[in-house]
Amino acid sequence: MTVVRTGTERGVTRLTLDSPQNRNALSTTLVAELTQALKAAEGDDDTRAVVLTHTGTTFCAGADLKSLLDPEAFVGVLRTIVEHPKPVVARVTGHVRAGGLGLLAACDISVAGPEASFAFTESRLGLAPAVISLPVLPRMDPRAAARYYLTGERFDADEAARTGLITTSAPDVDAALEPVLTGLRRASPQGLTASKSLVTATILENFDRHTEALTALSASLFASPDAHEGVTAFLERRDPAWVL
């Protein structure tokens, strides 16, 4: 079953995460299909920009805890978004958790609606936002990142925009996206690619410097006793042993 649907209209290729039964979790299948769809859009002369969106009430719940993803594959799809020669725009009308925030931060422009909520939940599972830090930390206010990385608190779209995690929050996401997509349609392909390379240079430097270390950290944390307890507790819908 396909979990990433693709459609193109007026120069915009829409990639829809369509696995609502597991809240669009980052399964091996979803990451592989998303990577393939992004690469197909690279070579499509009719595509001026890519919109990444979702079905259901969750944009992406993070890692599929029932079938853990290879961290290197996840880094690969994040880098594919950042390096993509065409702008990638996130359209968010639902919840975003953990690894899903990495997808969001990798996108060039992001708009979220009032139904959206965000949380770095890794610390509550005995993990850390390791790999997703590659695109998140260059974009997000450091003080806000410290708070939400450490506490795992939930925050809304207005706060996500204030902290730089997303571009803007809006009561009507599609209305807010109209001028963005109009602007992208009016830009030349060469102009878009060259302009994007300027604003993603720092993020790509972060990938070059820290990918190996953060991938290793992610793998070691997932293999730890704390992570086993945290994930087991999550799946059993109980508090982990360390909760006071």
- What pLDDT is recorded for position 66? 81
Secondary structure of residue 101 in the 3-state scheme:
helix
DSSP letter for 3, please: S
- What pLDDT is recorded for position 1? 82
Query: In terms of C-beta density within 10 A (0-12 exposed, 13-18 middle, 19 or more buried), how is residue 175 classed?
Result: exposed
Cβ distance 75 to 35 under 8 Å?
Answer: no
- What pLDDT is recorded for position 23? 97
DSSP letter for 70, please: P
- What pLDDT is recorded for position 65? 86
Q: Rounded to two decimals, what is the model's pTM? A: 0.96
- What pLDDT is recorded for position 24? 97
Domains annotated for the chain, with CATH where assigned, are 1-172+188-244 (3.90.226.10)
Q: Measured between alpha carbons, how far is residue 196 from residues 77, 80, 102, 109, 201 in Å?
A: 17, 13, 18, 11, 9
Q: Measured between alpha carbons, how far is residue 113 from residues 1, 57, 132 in Å?
A: 29, 12, 22
The pLDDT tens digits for 76-114 are 999 999 999 999 999 999 999 999 999 999 999 999 999
Q: Name beta bridge partners: 14.
A: 7, 51
DSSP letter for 166, please: S
DSSP structure string for 188-241: -HHHHHHHHHHHHHHHHHHHHHHHHHHHHHHHHHHTSHHHHHHHHHHHTTS--T
What is the C-alpha separation between 79 and 100, in angstroms, rounded?
Answer: 14
Supply φ then ψ for residue 186, to 5 degrees.
-85, -10
Digit-by-digit pLDDT tens for the chain (244 residues) are 899 999 999 999 999 999 999 999 999 999 999 999 999 999 999 999 999 999 999 999 999 988 778 889 999 999 999 999 999 999 999 999 999 999 999 999 999 999 999 999 999 999 999 999 999 999 999 999 999 999 999 999 999 999 999 999 999 999 999 999 999 999 999 999 999 999 999 999 999 999 999 999 999 999 999 999 999 999 999 999 999 9
Residue 138, H or E segment: helix 133-139
- What pLDDT is recorded for position 179? 98
